[in-house]
A and B are shown apart, each in its own frame.
Chain A
């Protein structure tokens, strides 16, 4: 397999990059591994940044993906605060921005995504924040407190998770969303309605179907959000959470095939056999759905990290996983499995009024494509299992909470 002189360079030290380095050692890679990241800290968990980190329930040590001594113990060379300027595929070399270069035998691109920016009047004012990194989270934490008002542009996962955290810290929150419902890109309409009700009940102001025209302030600092209909929403700070953009520039400049992200196959190989791409930056096959898509989630980054590591170590490929996502808001644990392609019918199990329910989305043949589960771990896992099986289910049994999920999914 690997000889000790072979060198794998991983560009991007997020969840995907950090995990592929660890899996390579687990799977027996004997060669050198270099992990390059542009942040000053080793890989860490990003999901808690909008939740436990903001509310003070997590610290830097609990956020770390692995303990500080892990990288030395596993012979993984960490290059932090380092950016790659270009890839020379012919020479199998990455050029760093500081002028140094590193030769590779195999390259893994785990470049991640970045927050989409709003190009509106006043977008450059101080106090307009985004959330991707721990440094972003520190700035945001400083802007949230009792008696202060946070305006949030975008009612996606980031926006709603921060809204919940900010309310628990006593801040006033107004969420402004262009679409007519919250979580419009990720959730079905009934789930959106449930979350809308829940946030309003916790005192979050929701402006749905509202366009932001710009930001205004005094002394260079934001003081209000101006809506397209002329209304002003006073705020001490603004969080913009309007989706992510894949970091594909390095790959595009190197001539790798890119569509919505860097195109990869089921082993996370790009159009160059020496180069892999994983996580948010990749456009990947979804074998269960016969499609390609770009997914932004930790489980996706982990699955692709395993695919790439297995291929690099010449191990059997891992079985395809059902994509899944989670979000924690207030006392709600939302878990979503699968993707709602070709959905003809939705079956509800449990009662939204009790905040314990699940929505199963079925094709016209009764095959479960996706499940959205609120505080319902069994429904999430049962649904995930049914999605993988691709066989029709009995709608009546699925809706009947007196029949256990284990029995239905068996």
Chain B
């Protein structure tokens, strides 16, 4: 199973094996990794699963669609490498992916 590295805002790192086809958000929620709230359960409707994707991995992700784009626009302190983690599907290509959580989802 691909391993995803989740890094909390305080630097605490979680290396989690996430089943193929789950989202990066689900990998965090299923393992109680703090910092990803996912209030809407993955409908890309709430902007509370915001992560910063390590720039080295950014090119391997499909670009955000319009709905995700508008979520990113309003996420607190979003930047060029911001994504909604419910929209990133885990694949073998993403084995080793590094994402960092913001200080707060609001």
Contact = CB atoms under 8 A, between A and B. Distances in A.
Contacts of A192: none
B67 A377 contact: yes
A45 interface: yes
A67 B30 contact: yes
Given A319-B106, A378-B70, A302 B32 contact: no
Contacts of A299: 39-40, 46
Contacts of A380: 45
Interface string B67-88: 1001101100000000000000
B43 interface: yes
A378 B74 contact: yes
B8 to A, nearest CB: 10
Most chain A CB neighbours (cut-off 10 Å) among B34, B74, B106: B74
B29 interface: yes
A26 B106 CA distance: 18
Contacts of A302: 37, 39
Interface in B28-42: 29-32, 34, 37, 39-41
Given A377-B71, A378-B74, A406-B73, A333 B32 contact: no
Contacts, number: 59
B59 to A, nearest CB: 25
B32 A47 contact: no
A381 B104 CA distance: 16
A314 to B, nearest CB: 16
A386 B31 CA distance: 34
Contacts of B40: 298-299, 326
Contact of A326 (B37, B45, B67, B71): B45
A302 B37 CA distance: 9
B45 A26 contact: no
Given A298-B39, A302-B39, A70 B74 contact: no
Given A67-B30, A298-B39, A302-B39, A378 B73 contact: yes
A74 interface: yes
Interface string B40-78: 110111110000000000000000000100110110000
Given A377-B45, A378-B70, A66 B39 contact: no
A106 interface: no
A297 to B, nearest CB: 10
B79 to A, nearest CB: 14
B34 A326 contact: no
Contact of B29 (A66, A324, A384): A66
A323 to B, nearest CB: 12
A389 B46 CA distance: 18
A406 B72 CA distance: 11
A298 B43 CA distance: 13
Contacts of B37: 302
A382 interface: yes
Nearest to B40: A326
Interface string A363-397: 00000000000000110111011000000000000
Interface string A299-316: 100100000000000000
A27 B40 CA distance: 21
A12 B73 CA distance: 36
A321 interface: yes
Contact of A381 (B32, B41, B47): B47
Interface in A38-85: 45, 47, 66-67, 70, 73-74
Given A26-B32, A321-B106, A335-B45, A381 B39 contact: no
B72 to A, nearest CB: 10
Nearest to B75: A381
The 9 closest A-B pairs by CB, nearest first: A381-B74, A378-B70, A377-B70, A26-B34, A67-B30, A406-B73, A299-B39, A377-B67, A45-B41
Interface of B: 29-32, 34, 37, 39-41, 43-47, 67, 70-71, 73-74, 104, 106
Given A70-B30, A405-B73, A406-B74, 11 more contacts: A47-B41, A70-B31, A70-B32, A73-B31, A299-B39, A302-B37, A319-B104, A324-B46, A377-B44, A380-B45, A381-B70
Interface of A: 22, 25-27, 45, 47, 66-67, 70, 73-74, 298-299, 302, 319, 321, 324, 326, 328, 333, 335, 377-378, 380-382, 384-385, 405-406, 409
8 contacts: A67-B30, A74-B32, A328-B43, A335-B45, A377-B45, A381-B47, A405-B70, A406-B74
